[in-house]
Amino acid sequence: MIGLAEIAGPIACLGLAVLLVARTRRNRIAGLAYAGVGTVLLVASFSPASAWELAAAVCGALLLGPLLAWLFRREPWLVAFATLAFIPFRVHFLHHQLLVPLYAVALGAAGLLLWQLVEGDGRTRELGIASWPLALYLGWIGISLEWSVDIHMAAIDLLAFYIPLTILAVSIARLPWQPSRVRILYCELVAMALVFVVVGFYQYETRNIFQNSKLQISNTYSALFRVNSVFWDPSIYGRFLVIALIATVVLIVRGRLGRLGIAALVFAAVAWLGLLVSFSQSSFAALLVAVFGVAAVVWRWRSLLALAAALVVLGGLAAAQPTLMHALRHHTTGGLNSATHGRASLIANGIRIAKAHPAIGVGLGGFEHAYSKRTHRTPRKSASHNTPVTVAAEQGGIGLVLYFWLVGALLLAAYRRIEHPVFGRLALAAGLGLVAIFVHSLAYNDFFEDPTTWGLIGLVALAAPRRVRARPPRPVEETADEPVPEMIAQ
């Protein structure tokens, strides 16, 4: 039923776009309803061979949805706590490893959002200046199903990532500001990171890898033993630790910790050791850029000295890598591809695909199919490792412009708040977290597929609250002598 997916995808994405930018409750309710209808139609578009899985999902949604909406209404921050808790967990569903527990959270969050809108909640455009670029990007990828060369993968991408994670980002942005809950969220992040580090140390000591048999085989023939902890890939494990490290560094340099400062430093050291045994180059690069970001905020121009020193050190390390230097000297694609573990070839072919379809790309989910057709390799070996290149190949120049607009708007929203006495630390930590994920996505295509990205989008919006009209305005004579508040508490 490929035709059904081509109809359902645009309906769901345009519904989300309306939800993000509409100014009236009626339009926002309609947008949420359209997103729900499109989601149901996308689920129905899959093969009857998965009928029992789909039936189980529908029954679970009918039972869990209202219950979770009620729980989230009683304690709204459970949405953020549950989102963070379920980030590592994937379940084999519809022949893919999917974030099934998170979909239950998103379902409850959508139910709560509908409940609030029906009751008269007048808040709009919770994502602030990122609302329009995200809405346009979602609308564009939804329309791109009409020419996608892999409709099945496009439908999976929408169902598994874009639809539920957008709902979670909006729901987190709508949370009432409570500093105690933010502290609990940070403690949860640290506790999870410590558990994952312990698991990683166990794997490194016992040489036993969970879940990923390919990684186990790779470690057998490699000089380095990489661990993945509870995650599927060492790079995903490393990225999670980077986010925890960034939050801790911001807390150290911008907070008044007292004795807790020692505990924060100890955690940073332990997490860094855990990151070390992942041997994730992309994660180390992301952490390095984020640390420079912290230095630039705290030390301003003096951070340039630290940057220069780091560049000297990195230059020395690069010079000490014979394979990389040989590839750079001779500019050989094969040599550079070998030095970067195949990423250079993936990026080069991705750029060729983008050049062949410069305006609209090959459609959402079409990268692997287009790459396989060009290189005559199986789709399993043609997954992209660079988000901007993948966006350019799948969504064309239009999608790439919208993507960079979205990233720029999110970073600008965070930057505007980093000096705020109340929201500054959250804005800085969330903004630098997005910077780290963006840098990481240059070598590991997981920007939109990582729930952490969408959680940070919500936190950036939460740290940059907007003026919201929650009730109809009173006549001018009744309000003329009242001060205008900076924001209305959510």
Q: What is the mean pLDDT of the chain?
A: 82
Kindly report, residue by residue over 282-335, the tens digit of the pLDDT: 899 999 889 888 888 877 756 566 666 656 555 554 554 455 445 445 544 444
Q: Which residue has the higher pLDDT, 52 or 74?
A: 74
The answer to whether residue 380 scores a pLDDT higher than 60 is: no
The answer to whether residue 37 scores a pLDDT higher than 70 is: yes
Q: Which residue has the higher pLDDT, 475 or 401?
A: 401
Q: Give the model's pLDDT for residue 106.
A: 94
Judge contact between 31 and 16, C-beta under 8 A: yes
- For residue 177, give Cα distances in angstroms to 111, 135, 365, 462, 482: 21, 25, 37, 8, 24
H helix and E strand count, the chain: 22, 2
Mean pLDDT of 417-425: 88
Query: In 10 A of CB 363, how many CB atoms?
Result: 28
Q: Which residues lie closer than 8 Å to 324 by C-beta, 6 or more apart?
A: 318, 339
pLDDT band at 384 (very low <50, low <70, confident <90, very high): low
Q: What letter represents residue 180's amino acid?
A: S
Q: Give the model's pLDDT for residue 419.
A: 86
Q: Give the model's pLDDT for residue 195.
A: 95
Write phi, then psi, for 111 (nearest 5 degrees): -65, -40
Kindly report, residue by residue over 458-469, the tens digit of the pLDDT: 999 999 865 444
Q: Give the model's pLDDT for residue 19.
A: 96
Q: For the chain, give every domain's residue range.
A: 2-176+386-465
How many residues are there in the chain? 490
Least-confidence region, from 15-29, 107-121, 136-150, 200-214: 200-214
399 dihedral zone (left: phi>0; alpha: psi -120 to 50; beta): alpha
Q: Which residue has the higher pLDDT, 417 or 380?
A: 417
DSSP secondary structure letter of residue 97: E
Please give, one letter per residue, the 3-state secondary structure of 27-53.
Answer: HHHHHHHHHHHHHHHHHHCCCHHHHHH
How many degrees, rounded to 5, is the angle at CA 202 between CA 199 and CA 203? Answer: 90
- The closest alpha carbon to 373, from 364, 382, 365, belongs to 382
Q: Which residue has the higher pLDDT, 468 or 63?
A: 63
Mean pLDDT of 400-411: 96
DSSP string, 397-438: HHHHHHHHHHHHHHHHHHHTTTT-TTTHHHHHHHHHHHHHHH
Q: Give the model's pLDDT for residue 280.
A: 86
Kindly report, residue by residue over 82-100, the tens digit of the pLDDT: 999 999 888 776 667 788 8
